[in-house]
Amino acid sequence: MGTGTQQKVSSTKPTNEIKSAVIRFAGDSGDGMQLAGAQFTSTSAVLGNDIATLPDYPAEIRAPIGTVAGVSGFQINFSSESIFTPGDKVHALIAMNPAAFKAHIDDVEPGGIVIANESEFGKVNLKKAGYPEGFNPLDDEGFNRKFQLFKVPISRLNTEALKDSGLGAKDANRCKNMFALGIVYWLYDRPLDTTVGHIDSYFGKKKNLPKVAAANIASLKSGFFFGETAELFPVRYHVAKAPIKAGKYRKITGNEAVAMGLVTAAKLAGKDVCYCSYPITPASNVLHALAGMRNYGVKTFQAEDEIAAVCSAIGASYAGQLGVTGTSGPGLALKSEAIGLAVMIEMPLVVVNVQRGGPATGLPTKTEQSDLLQAMYGRNGECPVVIIAAQSPGDCFDSAIEASRIAMQHRVPVILLTDGYLGNGSEPWRIPDHNSFEKIVVEHPSDPETFQVYGRDEKLVRPWAIPGTPGLEHRLGGLEKQHLDGNVNYEPENHQLMMEVRKQKIERIADDFDPIEPYGDSEGDLLVLGWGGTYGAIFTAVERARKAGKSVSGLHIRHINPMPKNLGDVLKRFKRVLVPELNLGQLRLIIRGRYLADARGLNKVQGRPFLVEEIDQAIDLMLQGKYGDREYLRPHQGLVRLEDQDYDFTSIDGRPH
């Protein structure tokens, strides 16, 4: 496979066969690191590796150039085996400037590869990165001893490679990410054709910039040839195909999958998606994706604010279509009153919450799972909604269909929780057979003789009568409803009755769920219970523990509300329960409250997903009974240690000294 040139020269250096590798591209937020990472991902996916990615970028579009605050990173784990996380430690770091080096060097495994763009390691940039005067990490003995440090003047070599390209110095310099990518392609024995094809179609055809396309391709190839000809790298690495199930695949991010799931659900129900949203990181690209799908009957509406977004989505459902709004934590807070109205008028509504670090504006571009309790309880009154949590980028597709199905069939708001890690992370996704989906049957009443506005079926679902239907004219609103006839009613007993109806209506949805079973053994010493985007890390850690002979099983719940009916029974079969979450213990609180289970936590709120090894350590501490009275432990720099748990809030990093 690959380019002809590559085949000719590829045998001149020894190749090490490795099972998997984790690489990270890091540079200024304008250096094109996300693009380089995405290209490496696509190439690896096409090659048949299993992949998992973690983009990590600053909240500012262009933070001051050269500063640590402005560093943008993209991590990819690619493997010849099945993988479920973007990886703990970095095998190879590509650092485009000193700030990128500084921000990421601690994550590189000892002996790991560091390719540093030497051209940018001048005095000024070193100072901007905050290194003391006269210190250059590339010349530091410690760093050179710990890592395989390769100094490559990427900027200069790239400029030279493009001197006849016809591009100005600035534009030529912008191609340096492709030069860096070329080096990495060589190092990991990857073909160039996927990326060449992408550059051709994007710059060449879509943007009609043939010169820019040619320059990017030239940079890519120059980087690749540099890897081969420069006597710098002693070996190159090869990661074979993973034993992936045969079929047709595409790379998918969680946000893309949500968009596709919503459209699929609407088609299955014979409805149009009305996606009403206000731009917010990291949910905006759900809106972007759907805005490009007008030919699927998708109507997107960029509302004036978060409140208008949810209200117009409810209006769209009221008029008989699938009303959906998408947001992140701060937006969910703004939508809460309207979600309460949708509960009261029992209207289908899907609310996609791509969670990010909070509270307030928090960490807009970083991941967290801290909106679970907001989704459960963040409204006035007793106001139950359905909550579904997706567990991987590809699973966002199925979860979006499930959320839409429940919303339409049960006339309830459904909050679909994903997070920044799932939304922007990607994995290879096996394209399902388009005939494999069950129709979503949704009925609208039309007979005035039998119509009762708040009449109910055995699942306590009321009819979804839509304007335009003669004889069914009726009024809905946020005031309490009289049971069955739906008129305004303030009577004490009626209010109690209606509260119970709304509660039980949600609970009865669980009648349709299959009983859940843990993976691993059905009983044992420890159950690791998780939800949402932590699935990959928890699953990997549990499998590892089991291979080591430990009595550990895992359980990942998709239905947060209502919960699967047998969850309490499953919990009872284990001596201990560990709940790792990227919050301070939100599912844990519910589990303890509802099941009186002595669940303990591993709780991380650092804007990043769990490392597998963090969960490994918590599992061991749980098995050894070392949690003591502690309700939860927290990792620090990848380590979960009992002696590291108490903060000293008077010291600069809060750690006891």
Site membership for other proteins, residue 299 (CB under 8 A)? yes
CA-CA distance, 98 to 71, in Å (whole number)?
10
By CB under 8 A, which span of 66-74, 156-164, 294-302, 565-573 interacts with other proteins? 294-302
Give every CB contact of residue 487 below 8 A, 6+ residues apart in sequence. 453, 475, 481
SS (HEC) of 572-602: HCEEEEEEEECCCCHHHHHHHHHHCCCEEEE
Q: C-alpha dihedral over 642, 613, 236, 172, to 10 degrees?
A: -80
Residue pointed to by tokens 């590796």: 49
By CB under 8 A, which span of 306-314, 404-412, 528-536, 582-590 interacts with other proteins? 306-314
Site membership for other proteins, residue 431 (CB under 8 A)? yes
CA angle 420, 21, 604 (to 5 degrees): 35
- Least Å distance, CB 364 to other proteins, is 22
Containing 554, the helix (H) or strand (E) segment is strand 552-557
CA 562 to chain centre: 23
Site membership for other proteins, residue 296 (CB under 8 A)? yes
Site membership for other proteins, residue 437 (CB under 8 A)? yes
**Judged by CB, which is closer to other proteins: 334, or 363?**
334
Site membership for other proteins, residue 294 (CB under 8 A)? yes
Identify the three-state secondary structure at position 306. Answer: helix
Query: What are phi and psi for residue 71, nearest 5 degrees?
Result: -80, 135
Q: Which amino acid is at 384?
A: P
**Judged by CB, which is closer to other proteins: 467, or 638?**
467
By CB under 8 A, which span of 56-64, 297-305, 544-552, 583-591 interacts with other proteins? 297-305
- Among 21, 338, 388, 406, contact with other proteins (rule: CB under 8 A): 338
Site membership for other proteins, residue 274 (CB under 8 A)? yes
Site membership for other proteins, residue 272 (CB under 8 A)? yes
- Least Å distance, CB 337 to other proteins, is 5
- Least Å distance, CB 306 to other proteins, is 10
- Among 312, 424, 553, 583, contact with other proteins (rule: CB under 8 A): 312
**Judged by CB, which is closer to other proteins: 306, or 368?**
306
By CB under 8 A, which span of 25-33, 117-125, 272-280, 515-523 interacts with other proteins? 272-280
CA-CA distance, 235 to 241, in Å (whole number)?
20
CA-CA distance, 530 to 519, in Å (whole number)?
12
**Judged by CB, which is closer to other proteins: 206, or 241?**
241
- Among 66, 320, 348, 463, contact with other proteins (rule: CB under 8 A): 320
- Least Å distance, CB 35 to other proteins, is 14
Please say whether the beta carbons of 585 and 603 come within 8 A.
Answer: yes
- Least Å distance, CB 567 to other proteins, is 32
- Among 45, 354, 396, 541, contact with other proteins (rule: CB under 8 A): 45
Site membership for other proteins, residue 381 (CB under 8 A)? no
Number of residues engaging other proteins in binding (CB under 8 A): 75
Pairing of strands 426-430, 559-561: unpaired
Other Cβ atoms closer than 10 A to 4: 6
Site membership for other proteins, residue 295 (CB under 8 A)? yes
> Closest Cα partner for 214 from 222, 42, 8?
222
User: Restricting to residues 451-510, which ones interact with other proteins according to CB under 8 A?
Assistant: 466-479, 487-488
Site membership for other proteins, residue 304 (CB under 8 A)? yes
Site membership for other proteins, residue 267 (CB under 8 A)? yes
Give every CB contact of residue 164 below 8 A, 6+ residues apart in sequence. none
CA-CA distance, 79 to 87, in Å (whole number)?
10
Site membership for other proteins, residue 293 (CB under 8 A)? yes
Please say whether the beta carbons of 550 and 623 come within 8 A.
Answer: yes
User: Restricting to residues 221-260, which ones interact with other proteins according to CB under 8 A?
Assistant: 241, 244-252, 256, 260
- Least Å distance, CB 289 to other proteins, is 10
Containing 352, the helix (H) or strand (E) segment is strand 349-355
